[in-house]
Structure formats: C-alpha cells, structure tokens
Amino acid sequence: MGKGRAPCCDKTQVKRGPWSPSEDLKLIAFIQKYGHQNWRALPKQAGLMRCGKSCRLRWINYLRPDVKRGKFTVEEEETIIRLHKALGNKWSKIASRLPGRTDNEIKNVWNTHLKKRLTTERSSNSSAHESKLESSITSLSSSSSESESFFSNERSNSPNSTTLGNEINDQASQVTDKIEEDSNKQVSNELISITKDPKESSISLSSVEPNIVTTSQNVAYKAEEQLASPSSYLGPYDFGSISQEVDKPNHLFEIPWELSNFDFCNQLFDDDSLGGSFQSNEVQLGELPASQNIILGEKIVQEIEARKWSHDFENEFGLLSETKKPNNDHFLPKDYAIEPEMDNTQTFDFNGIARPESEIDFSYIQLWSSWP
DNA sequence: AATCATAGCAACCGCGCAAAT
DNA sequence: GATTTGCGCGGTTGCTATGAT
C-alpha cells in the first residue's frame, strides 16, 4: 500500500444522473443511523452505487432534514442581493446567513431570478427621466437594500453614468452619496461578520445589520418551530407549504413521524441472517461485505413499499379501523399515507415479526411515488 | 395539437485547500 | 517534506416543465 489515502471510488461502477426514491431512502436511512463521517466510504456501506461526492451533494442540497424548500421570501432575496454585493459569488458564505438554504439553491436563484431582475431594473432606470430619478432616490432613501445595490452600481458601472450624473441636481447627489456611504458601511460590516469564523467571532450580527438579523431570526424561528412541532414539519417535500412549492411532482407519499416506532431498519440490522453486523453503532461498517450492505438497502426499500401497499390494501377493503386511521390525511394524498397513527408503546408486527423500538428517525422522509 | 423557446433546477465537473499517510 | 486523497466550493451542463407561436 502506497502513501496517501485510498482511492476515491471506481468511477466506472458508479451510477450517475437523477436519484431514485430508493437511493434517497438508502442514503437517509444510513445517515440517520450512522452519520456521514466519511463520504467516500458511505456509498458502499449504504449499498449505493454512487460516488461519495454525489451522496454528499444529494444529502446537503436535498435530503437534509433542515433544508428549507419553496420559494424565497422577499427578505431572503434582499439578503442575497446585499451579501452578493459584498461577497460576490461566495455562495456558501451567503448560504451560511440563510438557514435552511443551500449554496446551490441560492446560486440558482441568483442566476435565474435576481441577476435578471437587477439587470432589468438597471436598464429601465438608466433611461428614466430626471424626475423619475429623483423619485427613485426618494424611495432609495427609505432603505431598500435592493435599490441601494442598484443605485450604487448604476453610478459606478453604467456607461451613461456621466451623462446621468450631469442631470442629477446637487440635492440628489447628496442623497445618493449618503446612501452609498451607508451602503458601503453596511456591506463592510456584513463582510466582517461573515468572513470571520463563527467560532472565533464575537461580533453580534444584530449590531451590524438589523435587517438581516430580523430575516435570519425569522427563518431560524421557523426552523425551530418545525423541529419542535414534528406533525407540522414534513421535511424536504413539504405538503404543508405546497402552495409555495414550484415544479414539484404532485404524487408523493410520506413516512410519517409515527413510523419511527416501527424501525424496520433496526430489525433488519438485527437479522440473524446478516450475522448481526448492525446490532450496534460500535460495529465497524467496513467489515460488512458490500453485497450485504446492498441487500440491506434493498430490504429497507422493499419493506417500505410493502408497508405502503399493505396500507393501501387495508384502505381499499375497509380493513383499517377508525382508531387507526391517520390524523394527518388533510395534508397527505390519500393513496400515499403509508401508515396510520400508532400507539407509541406498541410494537409493529410486520409479516409476523415484532418490531423493536426505533433508533432511526424517519419522520422527515418523503419520497416521490412516481419516478420518471 | 404540435413544435419550438425559455426558465428553473438538480446534478456533475474541475479546481484548490486541508488533511492523512 | 512529499505525495495522495477527501472535502468543499463555484461554475457549468443537461433534463424537465411551462409558455409561446
């Protein structure tokens, strides 16, 4: 064995392209139980034919329980615009100020919406009459960050800036100078707070940028609310905020919070036929042959599918008692509510096997039921 | 109704830095 | 200290949905 670390992965044997529901499930189940200390080793251990890099990306951008989906709020967009002005394309830095948003998502929003919008506003404003400029300046003074960004850029970047500058009267110049000065101060302060390592920084965000903190606090509060109220938080594919969702398939099924009691994974890992290799977190996953890991992943998926259809069957033939019916049907498509609400103390008997209490939290797992 | 253009977004690629050996 | 890989980041691509003609 030579120097350095082991090779990343066999590029010829990894799957690429869109992730399937079963792959998502395998990844979520594995990370829930074992975490992701080593992305390189994870795919093999989880039974995924994916590069570790791909797994990391999928987890961070899509499957993480705290990832926030849906349209960006006006406050978030303004924050992005401000931070982009200060930092440029430092998407991860910007994302760090927007809890629940990923750098990839922010990057996409910037490239598809914000950049375009700012360009449009610039061009429309550059052809405006003096009176309109004065009007804009008036509105700028009311601390619209987006407009601040536009205006300061306009003055410095527009080819017509000299001509325009001659048209602007002294009073307007004074106002814009003040705005730019304030804006630069604000940007500088943001830069300080962002570029400093949070662990080392003692700078209070609230002391430098009230608007951003307000936004962040809102987002943080919502995130906390979601975590504190499991029944209202459905994770990445949130039916509760479906009205805010864009470009999402309509047919989803969800694994409700209650399902964590079933912990079929635990049962699978305890299965004697697998040599009990997964009986505790102390087990070295690397010791398990890859083929067995793949079998484990497949079994997880199969069991979820079986549960889903079992439930559908019960619904179809009226075998589901009223007391067992889910109380969250209002946000779930009828056909895809997998399991009824369960007594937390009862163990789930699937195919005659009593299930132990769960260690894995599947509460936020939702999957596309129809995959292209 | 069919075709084409555009928008939106998930995923991949390649690079640089940090860390492991 | 040199070598090699892991990880994270920013840029880019390509697929899908939607709108326009």
Segments making up each domain of chain A, as ranges: 11-65+235-368, 74-225
For residue A43, what pLDDT is reported? 84
- Distance of C1' in C8 from CA in A107, Å: 15
> Residue A372: which nucleotide is closest by CA–C1'?
C16
Strand B nucleotides within a 7 Å radius of protein CB atoms? 7-14, 19-21
For residue A51, what pLDDT is reported? 85
For residue A144, what pLDDT is reported? 37
CA distance A174 to A131: 16
Give the SS3 label for residue A241.
helix
Q: Using the C1' atom of nucleotide B21, identify the protein residue whose alpha carbon is closest.
A: A4
For residue A151, what pLDDT is reported? 30
Give the SS3 label for residue A351.
coil
For residue A124, what pLDDT is reported? 66
Q: Give yes or no for a contact between A193 and A203, defined as CB atoms under 8 angstroms apart.
A: yes
Handedness of CA A179, A185, A188, A192 (dihedral sign): negative
For residue A20, what pLDDT is reported? 85
Instruction: Say which residue the tokens 């730019």 belong to.
Output: A180
> Residue A5: which nucleotide is closest by CA–C1'?
C5
For residue A10, what pLDDT is reported? 61
Q: Using the C1' atom of nucleotide C2, identify the protein residue whose alpha carbon is closest.
A: A3
Residue A367: strand pairing partners? A253
- Distance of C1' in B5 from CA in A115, Å: 20
Q: Using the C1' atom of nucleotide B9, identify the protein residue whose alpha carbon is closest.
A: A108
Question: Maximum CA pair distance of chain A?
Answer: 85
Half-sphere exposure for A313 (CA within 13 Å, toward CB): 6
What the block records as the tokens of A234 is 């459905």
CA separation, residue A254 to residues A214, A271, A311, A333, A344 (Å): 33, 26, 12, 9, 18
Give the SS3 label for residue A135.
helix
Residue A349: strand pairing partners? A354
> Tens digit of pLDDT per residue, chain A (372 long)?
334 444 455 656 778 888 888 888 888 888 888 888 788 888 888 888 888 888 888 888 888 887 887 788 888 888 888 888 888 888 888 888 888 888 888 888 888 888 777 776 666 666 664 444 444 434 433 333 333 333 333 333 333 333 333 333 333 334 333 434 444 455 455 444 444 433 333 333 322 232 322 233 333 333 333 333 322 333 333 333 323 333 333 333 333 333 333 334 333 333 323 322 332 233 333 333 434 444 444 555 555 544 544 443 344 333 333 333 333 322 222 222 232 222 333 222 222 222 333 344 444 444 433 333
Q: Give yes or no for a contact between A42 and A8, defined as CB atoms under 8 angstroms apart.
A: no
